[in-house]
Amino acid sequence: MPITRRQFLAVAALTVSVREPRAYAADQEQAVFWRAAMPGRNANVLFGYARIDASLVPDIVSDGKRLIDETQRIIAAFPNVEMTAWDLPRRTLPPIWKSISRPVADELRAALAGLPDGVPIEELSGIEVSWLLMGEGQTPPNPYLGDVLARHSRSRGRPVAFLITEKEIREQFWLPRDPIVLNDTIDEPKIAFLLDVRRRVGPIGAHLEQLYRARRGEEIYRFTAEIANQGIPDPSTFIEEEKAGALAFDRLLGLLDSTDAPTAFVVLPIGILTGETGILPRLRARGCTVTPIV
């Protein structure tokens, strides 16, 4: 059963790594762009990015191009790094159908009925099914939002840098996982939970797309926290997120506190910006003025 990074990055389009939302009194900012300025320093633009079809968010594309033109360089969290997660022969992981009851199996088959012809539904493992459910309904990106903004940036001659390099991802933060152990964490209660969420909001991937189109970053945080708190692994399982996030935050803070650096359009995954442990509240706690651009 080949499960590659390309497959689980499809799910990563809008799923985000989160922490349990305790008594988090978030404001109701409806934004994916923010201005961030340390006292006495120039303001930079922070952009909460998602891997989404650019045609779904023409307003975000337009705003992104305008804000790129207002800044002097582009800084992204990290480059695209293609790394194979697993490459297993078919049937290495047991099919989920052997471990779930008939009612759950019937609902799951109905949910998977829209998969392309040729997908061996009866051989799908628990981890495959969970990621398919979380990504269901996402529009195939052609092109990605990020691709459109990157082309615009190049047309303006904007230099591009990264907070975390490809070498650092490969050598410090890539976290191989035993697929058998990871698959064993997916049981009937977790599949039943995802199906319950699906009954409530419709296909999960499509719901997350709608939240992003509406610029509901905090709601994305709360919704994905609900899933993460059930112990359902998402693609961030393969990254040492705390270490990578700490390094990205430190470097972003240094960038914002620089006295002579050119202004930047900073591209960060929406999931690490919002939420109680996200970059936005942490910047504010360090004295940075962060205001939504609407």
At 11 the pLDDT is 38
**Hey, what are 45's tokens?**
């633009």
Least confident of 2-16, 69-83, 243-257: 2-16
Q: Which residue would you say has higher pLDDT here, 189 or 26?
A: 189
- Mean predicted confidence (pLDDT) in 250-267: 94
pTM of the model: 0.86
| Cβ–Cβ under 8 Å, residues 126 and 183 | yes
- Look at residue 90 and tell me whether its pLDDT is greater than 70: no
Q: Is the pLDDT of residue 216 over 90?
A: yes
Nearest of 255, 250, 249 to residue 37 by alpha carbon: 255
| Predicted local confidence at residue 288, as pLDDT | 97
Question: Of 6, 50, 1, nearest to 221 (Cα)?
Answer: 50
> Does 132 have pLDDT greater than 90?
yes
Average pLDDT, the chain: 86
Question: What's the pLDDT score for residue 42?
Answer: 93
**127-131, 172-176, 197-201: lowest mean pLDDT where?**
172-176
Average pLDDT, stretch 165-177?
Answer: 87
Half-sphere exposure of 242 (CA within 13 A, CB side): 1
What span, in angstroms and rounded, lies between the C-alpha atoms of 62 and 211?
Answer: 18
pLDDT confidence band for 92 (50 / 70 / 90): confident
More confident position, 169 or 83: 169
The 3-state secondary structure of 151-198 reads HHHHHCCCCEEECCCHHHHHHHHECCCCHHHHHHCCCHHHHHHHHHHH
What is the pLDDT, as a whole number, of residue 85? 55
pLDDT one-digit tens code per residue, 20-60: 433 334 445 789 999 999 999 999 999 999 989 999 999 99
A 10 A CB-CB count for 83 gives: 12
Q: Which amino acid is at 128?
A: E
